[in-house]
């Protein structure tokens, strides 16, 4: 089984949020796919946490090291397809990349983002539901 995973789920695992265990169990033995943009989104998330004073540099470095241990296959997405998705859904490009990745790989999407789930449902992309 393969899943497309987005930033919300990855950050949840790295920061040990309450649904971490459910995400890890849901993905056990699965191939995890993501758009190549995930790499920079994760970096951006931790830089935002640093700017807001939620974590220090040492913790951010530990988090990035934890991220680097996740076996992910980062993929390029078709930008024209992504722009079509942006137009159809009104979502940001980074969310469209996730949807395009799931669509082109015919893989279910694992996300904690409510709007992304809704857009995926409208596009008939299966959703991996995880319990909190």
Q: What is the CATH number of the domain that holds 20?
A: 3.40.50.1010
Report yes or no on 95 lying in a domain.
yes
Per-residue pLDDT tens digits for 33-72? 999 999 999 999 999 999 999 999 999 999 999 999 999 9
The count of domains in the chain is 1
CA atoms within 13 A on the CB side of 58: 0
| Intra-chain end-to-end CA distance of the chain, in Å | 22
129 or 84, which is more confident: 84
Report yes or no on 49 lying in a domain.
yes
Over the chain, what HEC string results? CEEEECHHHHHHHHCCCCCHHHHHHHHCCCEEEEECCHHHHHHHHHHHHHHCCCCCHHHHHHHHHHHHCCCEEEECCCHHHHHHHHHHHCCCHHHHHHHHHHHHCCCCEECCCHHHHHHHHHCCCCECCCCC
Report yes or no on 38 lying in a domain.
yes
Q: What is the pLDDT of residue 129?
A: 87
Joined tokens for residue 22: 């459910």
The mean pLDDT of the chain is 95
At 9, is the pLDDT very low, low, confident or very high (cuts 50, 70, 90)?
Answer: very high
At 132, is the pLDDT very low, low, confident or very high (cuts 50, 70, 90)?
Answer: low
Q: What is the pTM of this model?
A: 0.92
Report yes or no on 129 lying in a domain.
no
Q: Which domain holds residue 31?
A: 2-122
């Amino acid at each position: 089984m393969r899943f497309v995973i987005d930033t919300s789920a990855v950050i949840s695992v790295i920061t040990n949020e309450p649904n971490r265990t459910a995400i890890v169990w849901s993905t056990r033995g699965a191939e995890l796919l993501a758009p190549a943009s995930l790499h920079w989104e994760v970096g951006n998330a931790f830089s935002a946490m640093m700017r807001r004073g939620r974590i220090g540099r040492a913790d951010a470095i530990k988090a990035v090291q934890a991220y680097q241990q996740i076996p992910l296959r980062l993929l390029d997405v078709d930008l024209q397809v992504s722009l079509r998705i942006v137009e159809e859904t009104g979502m940001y490009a980074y969310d469209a990349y996730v949807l395009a990745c799931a669509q082109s790989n015919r893989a279910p999407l694992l996300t904690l983002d409510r709007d992304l789930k809704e857009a995926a449902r409208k596009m008939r992309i299966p959703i991996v539901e995880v319990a909190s």
